[in-house]
Structure 1
Amino acid sequence: MTAIAVTIAGSDSGGGAGIQADLKTFSALGVYGASVLTALTAQNTLGVSALHEVPPDFVLAQMDAVYSDLKVNVTKIGMLARVDVIEAVAEGLTRHDTGPVVLDPVMVAASGDPLLADSAVDCLMSVLVPRADVVTPNLHEAARMLETAMADSETAMRAQADSLLKRGARSVLLKGGHGTTDESVDLFADSQGNVTWLRAKRVATDNTHGTGCTLSSAIAAGLAVGKDLDSAIRDAKSYVHAAIAAADGLAIGAGHGPVHHFHEIWSK
């Protein structure tokens, strides 16, 4: 049986993040990818110049079309710009068998451009976070979700992960890629009390566009082929670390370039 993953997210016209990064990741990891677009961005490696939101009824129509036909193993959710789109996605999750849900609460592009309205954060927390099997915020996103300062230590990361669990998350992968130490340290914690620290040497490169999308999609791909969540997260972190390490082998744009999704395939 072919493993199938669906990404519900925004489009990055520059190809480095969003739907494009998700589909590249699925393909690189041997999973068939389908998509539901929630927004279109006019975007390149320098930033986002325009945003066009997909009407919520059309988001739901895409979900109905995909899930009514494909036997989906896992669903990854990324950029959802507005309250009515979040509510439409929640309705689609209720209607269909989506498999496990990986929620990446995309709020700001790598360039600093905002991608989620302030009014939508509370809706995201109350409507989608409790439905997800794992939520994957970075340090900035977790702080915004909790309306607090960004964690600046492992103790603070643990406290924020616990707060997200208390707010309804089943499990949390808090990504420390925006930290300043020599290591990129992520924290996985779940509602059963399990806590795992995941460490990797930080790669010196400016080409990290799409890392969050890629990581959450790699986790989804792992779940789609039958891995347990712990294995899917560990393997996804290894894949993304290698994609970042290979990013300078690409020459894409004049700003923050993408990670190298096909680093293993193109090198052969």
Structure 2
Amino acid sequence: MRATRFLCIAGTDPSGGAGQSADLKTASALGAYATSVLTAVVAQNTCGVRSVLPLPENVIRAQLDAVFEDIDIDCVKIGMVSDLTTARLIREFIERYRPAHVVLDPVMVAKSGDMLVDREGFHAVRDVLIPIADVITPNLPEAAVLLESDIPASHEEMAALLPGLSVLGADTVVLKGGYLHGETSNDLVHTPQGNHWLEAPRIETRALHGSGCTLASAIAALLPRHDTPIEAIRQAKTYMTQALTAAERLDIGKGQGPVHHFHAWW
């Protein structure tokens, strides 16, 4: 059986825990062959984001050309996109090559609370990229930004956002509930077959850096192996829980450390 061909389109993280670093590690840990296209150089670490430098359109186009012309991509994970030009370029290639699975992590708010995109970046994500995605994976602050609403403070308020998110264009919505409190960390998933609550124990750890990137990449890498999205999403959430459980073993950084992508190997 040939390996799943995974493409991440995202920004960098020199500290190795989020962005493209997390995407490549996750896909590799789950047995997919990982390829990559850089959209931005981000100066960040476990303590926060310092600066973001979007790459020129011709550089991103050359990377997309190089990958898609040579490799039959099965699944794409789109992360940080900060401007309309980049979003439209990515959409052009997705519509031209039609990979079977596209997962969009609408990266707009870092774990540190830093906003990563401006108003143009917001429209790039909501109006250009979500309509071409099969799955989107917003956390609660990102969902609130997308719908221009308040951040939910309960599971009931979280569920109230789902109808608005489901009409933005993606077939499947994974609304992550990690920002809420309680003994469990519950995500709410909308699929064409119905809505599902996915529950997992809440892991008490400060090592949350890159968790959103990791979950989205896990979903993308697993989608080609499952008949329905919910099966891939369940397995991805299990992987995410295990990566969080083992995260303290890494002891990386002075802030919010990374999850342990290779917990099953190291």
**Where does 1:130-209 land on structure 2 (aligned, <5 Å)?**
130-190=131-191, 192=192, 194-209=194-209
Deviations 1:82-110 (A, max 9, x none): 11111111112122232210010001221
Counterparts of 2:156 and 2:226, CA distance in 1: 32
- The alpha carbon displacement at 1:227 in A equals 5.0
- The alpha carbon displacement at 1:226 in A equals 4.3
1:42–1:50 contact (8 Å) kept in structure 2:
yes
Counterparts of 1:227 and 1:217, CA distance in 2: 18
Q: Which residue of 2 aligns with 1:219?
A: 219
Counterparts of 1:206 and 1:257, CA distance in 2: 7
1:67–1:97 contact (8 Å) kept in structure 2:
no
SS at match of 1:177: coil
SS at match of 2:265: helix
Please give the root-mean-square deviation of Cα atoms over the aligned residues, in Å: 1.3
- The alpha carbon displacement at 1:120 in A equals 2.2
- The alpha carbon displacement at 1:47 in A equals 1.3
**Where does 1:43-54 land on structure 2 (aligned, <5 Å)?**
43-54=44-55
Counterparts of 1:170 and 1:226, CA distance in 2: 16
- The alpha carbon displacement at 1:56 in A equals 2.1
2:140–2:177 contact (8 Å) kept in structure 1:
yes
1:86–1:128 contact (8 Å) kept in structure 2:
yes
- The alpha carbon displacement at 1:193 in A equals 5.3
Counterparts of 1:71 and 1:81, CA distance in 2: 26
**Aligned-partner residue type, residue 120 of structure 1:** G
**Where does 1:1-268 land on structure 2 (aligned, <5 Å)?**
1-190=2-191, 192=192, 194-266=194-266
- Stretches of 4+ moved more than 3 A in 1? 224-227
2:20–2:36 contact (8 Å) kept in structure 1:
yes
Judged with a 3 Å threshold, the aligned counterparts in structure 2 of structure 1 residues 158 and 242 are, in CA distance, closer, same or farther, namely same
Is there any run of 5+ residues in structure 1 with no aligned partner, and where?
none
1:4–1:224 contact (8 Å) kept in structure 2:
no
Counterparts of 1:28 and 1:98, CA distance in 2: 21
Q: TM-score, normalised by structure 1?
A: 0.95
- The alpha carbon displacement at 1:157 in A equals 1.7
Per mean C-alpha deviation after superposition, the further-off stretch among 103-112 and 256-265 is 103-112
**Aligned-partner residue type, residue 155 of structure 2:** E
Counterparts of 1:135 and 1:51, CA distance in 2: 23
Deviations 1:144-181 (A, max 9, x none): 00000011222222221111112323110000011122
**Aligned-partner residue type, residue 159 of structure 1:** A
2:82–2:124 contact (8 Å) kept in structure 1:
no
**Aligned-partner residue type, residue 163 of structure 2:** D
**Aligned-partner residue type, residue 203 of structure 1:** I
- The alpha carbon displacement at 1:136 in A equals 0.4
Is there any run of 5+ residues in structure 2 with no aligned partner, and where?
none
2:130–2:169 contact (8 Å) kept in structure 1:
yes
2:9–2:37 contact (8 Å) kept in structure 1:
yes
Q: Identity, % of aligned pairs?
A: 46
Counterparts of 2:224 and 2:69, CA distance in 1: 18
Q: TM-score, normalised by structure 2?
A: 0.96
Counterparts of 1:141 and 1:12, CA distance in 2: 20
Per mean C-alpha deviation after superposition, the further-off stretch among 194-203 and 221-230 is 221-230
1:103–1:216 contact (8 Å) kept in structure 2:
yes
Counterparts of 2:151 and 2:113, CA distance in 1: 15
**Aligned-partner residue type, residue 174 of structure 2:** L
